[in-house]
Structure 1
């Protein structure tokens, strides 16, 4: 199934946890817990459903709705009735009125003579500021659930809340194993869609590696063929996934949503974001940025060098959301009027510029994964460097740590164009920028989509080299 391209490691992890439950069955505390987090629509629920279905053991999959407590408990009874737990009828018969009682009934419904799987999806919907749900979950786990041969899987899309669930001082601290599910990486996207290395990176940028969008991409189709089809379908996953994810995170007129739109439009500095978001006050903007960074939707990058800097730049972390905010979302109206051709023409015009900036974090991640090699040393931190005026802007800086390094390991330039290789002029500019950053003759590298047409570099990498950072 397409949803599970590249998910073998995650399935294997869950299977090992269930095997440990089986091995401890009959012991005092055989139960185990996994806390799975990841951005919305990366396939967390489907992954766990697939695991539970093929496990061969009784399981209950419950998804919270974010409605009232009474509605959530009623939904739990319905999901229990639809499950294959041998004693699932207990939940419907008991009709618990709070989560303390619900956990008691769940514990009674779990078998004692064989392993089972209990899944609670969208856990952050159940969490409250006072920590009442976490306290009830902790008591239920310690007193009853852990004594059963059960694998409890807690799933959530709010990354900061899921991290808090297991943090020091919280009721459920150290009671489960944390697991993170990311989007499909460029190599997985390329394998799934039957694309060569360079085209795989383009597809990864547009889809963000989200399985639902990748599944809508015809195997072997070009970027422009895919966009032509998707932009003429008002309900295509490319169009609707971002809006649904944003609606789940923020009310339509929430200030962080306006700030996110400003960043997605291409603004990166604090001042320019404030202006693009409608001239909001600095304190209000700072609060919104903190919310967005805390939710891992936005990242605040600092120049990587041996000197401190206050020149922080903001970016949308999810490349699909970044693409949608800049090139799709503002034009949904014309797409719904049947004029997706206008949107496609606009994307064609902006594509080279947008991609040149969007590819940078992905290339830095790839380099951090493949180094050291026979050309460059290891670099625990790979980032970029810039000045306030952008008179000096270096795409790649490798160092021993970030954001203030003790030692720079290399500097480099990215040229990601179809028909223009990295040439002597690019090398001369890289020499000038290195001299502005450091007096040390640190190695120089180029990352080019179309090869290198000069000598004097210590290393160069193309799309196929970078794709090896994610072995299949």
Structure 2
């Protein structure tokens, strides 16, 4: 199995950055910096490791581990000493005891006549443990490192801290270009696992596009075959990846984990989340949801319509984490006593209804990638519409902006069942819900796993068309 299917674009971006370093002149400060961020276990470190191996230039790869400032500095010295930088021996001889001295010495050992790469992984750990780390890094970059032909890669999993590193009021502002590494998309997964379009979307919901989990999926295997094997292996990536990420992101004193569990169990409204999380106070829940949304773990959404709404709803943004919280996390004891068969049967019973809602964000994004086409215009905003009582609920709303639109572009329904196409009953329900929102003849569209029966839609899309939207044009 190939290691980096779906990462060609990212590898090309890294190669291009290194090429710019190689072609720059000394008078223009040849150094370049990239700030790479992405969720834990998304494959950032593996991607960078692959890049430096292919680049065949001198490099050092240092990974912070969340230790004290002194401990991290010791690890940096060891990383340089074991690298292939031509002047690495100088680091071992002088053994700098301060970070500013270490950065100064690092600049000295970097070659001046050929490009090199310096990787600092898990930068947020250093931002926490090293006093004034951002200022130290900024001065070292401006005065020393950027004057060498070096590509500096700053990598981190804490999305909010990595964004802050490059923000306006911070020392390192505008020193580096940002690169966001996302999960493997459904088309990547289809090619990697030899799955048809509909099965690729299922696999995307289960794995979240995390490379570590996808690599454990046997090529061509069906959903239930993969789940059966994973549930029979207590250390499979499917089982352990979520727990490791959550343990790293949530301190014990925070209520974020309890609130996340409530949202992951299917609760979507503020009141229901508070109840499911043990009746926590309004202010505590507000802080927890702000933490979760700032980290990109939870999405907070409002209905798209012509009028303002306060009916905010929450969902777990990462498909894999959503699957894990719904089916695996609450039943780990069952798996550990080798009764993964019970877990699998529970997933099978609930799969269709769970998938019907979980797939909606992924299909909405697929549609935004398709449009415009011969049937529908481009839609700057694609979301849904609902009322507090859910008496009116529309899966797809395309508009010129969100959440309060000036113009509604289309309404639509998502029907994602194996053996039930979108039919006249679904169309009648869609007409009824449209009439509750607007009197205008806004075009209607359907996304259906099993096709469409009858007329009356402006457009309809199936798994193949939606998957094609993720492939390079």
> What TM-score range do you get, normalising by the shorter chain?
over 0.9
SS in 2 for 1:410: strand
Map residues 37-436 of structure 1 onto 2, 5 A cutoff: 37-128=37-128, 132-252=132-252, 254-436=254-436
Shift of 1:111: 0.7
Q: How many residues end up aligned between the 2 structures?
A: 472
Question: CA 1:253–1:134 in structure 2 vs 1: closer, same or farther (change >3 Å)?
Answer: closer
Give distance in 2, aligned partners of 1:53 and 1:118. Answer: 13
Shift of 1:97: 2.2
Q: Give the corresponding residue for 1:2.
A: 2
Give distance in 2, aligned partners of 1:245 and 1:297. Answer: 11
Shift of 1:94: 2.3
Question: Does the 8 A contact of 2:67 with 2:129 survive in 1?
Answer: no
SS in 2 for 1:2: coil
Give distance in 1, aligned partners of 2:130 and 2:188. Answer: 41
Shift of 1:42: 0.8
Question: Does the 8 A contact of 2:306 with 2:406 survive in 1?
Answer: yes
Question: Does the 8 A contact of 1:69 with 1:98 survive in 2?
Answer: no
| 1:367-388 deviation per Cα after TM superposition (whole angstroms, max 9, x unaligned) | 1111010111110000000000
Give distance in 2, aligned partners of 1:316 and 1:413. Answer: 21
Question: CA 1:274–1:328 in structure 2 vs 1: closer, same or farther (change >3 Å)?
Answer: same
Shift of 1:26: 3.7
Gaps of 5+ in 1: none
Give distance in 2, aligned partners of 1:253 and 1:218. Answer: 40
SS in 2 for 1:3: coil
Question: Does the 8 A contact of 2:35 with 2:153 survive in 1?
Answer: yes
Deviates more, 1:123-132 or 1:185-194: 123-132
Shift of 1:92: 2.3
Shift of 1:131: 7.1
Question: Does the 8 A contact of 2:424 with 2:454 survive in 1?
Answer: yes
Question: Does the 8 A contact of 2:69 with 2:129 survive in 1?
Answer: no
Question: Does the 8 A contact of 1:25 with 1:115 survive in 2?
Answer: no
Shift of 1:127: 0.8
Give distance in 1, aligned partners of 2:281 and 2:252. Answer: 20
Shift of 1:79: 1.1
Please identify runs of 4+ aligned residues in structure 1 that moved more than 6 A: none
Q: Give the corresponding residue for 2:18.
A: 18
Question: Does the 8 A contact of 1:62 with 1:119 survive in 2?
Answer: yes
Give distance in 1, aligned partners of 2:446 and 2:129. Answer: 49
Shift of 1:82: 1.4
